[in-house]
């Protein structure tokens, strides 16, 4: 037991964490910690991932009032051309960015197999202190088998993976909340004298996200997460609405409210035709087919599961945005499509771009004012400006 009185440093997370902001449509970025982000292309338009680049991207988003930086948890390249092979660890990346941003929430996308709960709890609490209560733990089970082989952990059968994840998170939460030393005996973990100080800043707990899509994944989200991260893989609003409503019903059945976030890729042009032509150039002519094929293979997807035109369309979205929702067209088109996602109940969208710096700057100049005019977001004033 600690001999030293622990100060109460906790703060209501609604006052510190932008994920709980009042903006009807929250915005994030997906994948700026990885080389080529979500863009499976060989195009020279994509800059190399460096610390300076990712910091610049984070600061542009922060100053525009974005709510979240969502990293991809990745350990190895996908395919043979290096896609995502160069990437920053999500915890230390978030910690570094916490020091150079003021408002945006730093998300640590975490493979449960890669960290002991004591380590993950401590790292998240530390980032919460560095950032003044702006961290979110995004728990993922993973899907890319070569990574698990590299880490030496078993790629458990699907539902067993969620039993592991549940125990992992329940144990982690004890490190966040137990003031006295505790013992824990589960199926996967045994802890004697568990102890972690300081506790996180955010009260009652740091925000938690999960990207599960299966029934067991959705049950995990409904029970434990503040936000579910969903691929709107039907790529039409009717299917997407049904997906979002199912999530809301899951949460209501568990007596909770859970936001639904999704990811979308942005290709903006002065005209629809220009945007469409650029999409074709970067993700068809200059596509990294090897990355797309490997991703589909390890996701367990193949052409037999879909009609040929659906399969082709899905592969384009996979290459252009890790399977995210397409936002392709003029600033008006993109604002309108985001408004539609909001209308079907999506609370937050994390965006990806071919080049985050130029793409995001253009989005902030042209699309953001339209979202504000539509009442989806309040204009953001940089503190002290």
Ligand X SMILES: Cc1cc2nc3c(=O)[nH]c(=O)nc-3n(C[C@H](O)[C@H](O)[C@H](O)COP(=O)(O)O)c2cc1C
Closest separation in Å from C-beta 231 to ligand X: 4
Give whichever of 14 and 76 is closer to ligand X, judged by the CB atom.
Answer: 76
Give min distance, CB of 272 to ligand X, in A.
26
Distance in Å, CB of 296 to ligand X, minimum: 14
Q: Indicate the residue among 27 and 73 with the shorter CB distance to ligand X.
A: 73
Pairing of strands 105-111, 68-70: parallel
Tokens 């020279």 -> residue: 44
- The 3 state secondary structure assigned to 338-379 is HHHHHHCCCCEEEEECCCHHHHHHHHHHHCHHHHHHCCCCCC
Residue 132's Cβ-side half-sphere holds a number of Cα atoms within 13 Å equal to 9
CB of 346 to ligand X, least distance (A): 12
Residues engaged in binding ligand X (CB under 6 A): 72-73, 109, 111, 140-144, 211-214, 217, 229-231, 263
Torsion sign, CA atoms 335, 336, 341, 347: positive
Among all residues, whose Cβ is closest to ligand X? 217
CB of 299 to ligand X, least distance (A): 8
Nearer to ligand X, 136 or 201 (CB): 136
Cβ-based nearer residue to ligand X, 16 or 105:
105
Show the tokens assigned to 113: 């197999």
Rounded distance between C-alpha atoms, residue 176 and residue 193, angstroms: 14
CB nearer to ligand X: give 83 or 144: 144
Strand partners, 12: 203
Query: Cβ of residue 146: shortest distance to ligand X, in angstroms?
Result: 11
Helix residue spans in the chain (DSSP H): 13-16, 51-63, 90-98, 117-131, 145-151, 158-177, 215-224, 237-253, 272-280, 289-298, 308-321, 331-343, 356-366, 368-373
Beta carbons within 8 Å of 223's beta carbon, 6+ residues apart: 254, 256
Cβ(216)–Cβ(159) below 8 Å = yes
Indicate the residue among 172 and 191 with the shorter CB distance to ligand X.
172
Distance in Å, CB of 154 to ligand X, minimum: 15
Measured from the CB atom, is 202 or 260 closer to ligand X? 260
């Amino acid at each position: 037991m600690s001999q030293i009185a622990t100060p109460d440093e906790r703060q209501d997370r609604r006052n510190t964490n932008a994920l709980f902001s009042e903006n009807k449509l929250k915005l994030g970025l997906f994948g700026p910690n990885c080389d080529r982000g979500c863009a499976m292309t060989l195009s020279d338009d994509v800059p190399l991932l460096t610390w300076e680049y990712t910091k610049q991207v984070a600061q542009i988003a922060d100053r525009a009032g974005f709510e979240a930086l969502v990293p991809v948890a990745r350990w190895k390249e996908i395919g043979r051309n290096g896609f995502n092979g160069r990437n920053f660890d999500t915890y230390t990346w978030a910690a570094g960015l916490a020091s150079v941003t003021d408002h945006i929430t730093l998300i640590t996308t975490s493979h449960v197999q890669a960290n002991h709960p004591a380590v993950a709890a401590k790292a998240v609490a530390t980032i919460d202190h560095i950032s003044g209560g702006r961290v979110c733990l995004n728990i993922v089970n993973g899907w890319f088998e070569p990574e698990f082989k590299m880490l030496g952990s078993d790629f458990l059968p699907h539902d067993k993976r969620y039993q592991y994840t549940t125990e992992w998170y329940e144990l982690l939460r004890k490190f966040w909340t137990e003031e006295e030393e505790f013992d824990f005996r589960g199926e996967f973990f045994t802890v004697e004298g568990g102890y972690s100080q300081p506790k996180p800043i955010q009260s009652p707990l740091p925000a938690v996200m999960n990207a599960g899509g299966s029934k067991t994944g959705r049950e995990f989200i409904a029970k434990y997460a503040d936000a579910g991260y969903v691929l709107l893989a039907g790529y039409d609003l009717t299917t997407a609405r049904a997906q979002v409503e199912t999530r809301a019903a899951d949460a209501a059945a568990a007596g909770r409210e859970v936001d639904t976030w999704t990811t979308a890729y942005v290709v903006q042009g002065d005209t629809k035709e220009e945007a469409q032509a650029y999409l074709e150039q970067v993700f068809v002519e200059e596509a990294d087919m090897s990355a797309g094929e490997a991703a589909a293979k390890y996701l367990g997807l193949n052409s037999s599961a879909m009609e040929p035109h659906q399969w082709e369309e899905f592969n384009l979205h996979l290459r252009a945005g890790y399977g995210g929702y397409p936002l392709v067209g003029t600033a008006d088109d993109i604002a309108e499509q985001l408004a539609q996602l909001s209308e079907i109940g999506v609370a937050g969208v994390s965006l990806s771009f071919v080049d985050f710096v130029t793409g995001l700057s253009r989005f902030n100049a042209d699309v953001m004012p339209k979202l504000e005019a539509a009442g989806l977001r309040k204009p953001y004033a940089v503190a002290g400006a």
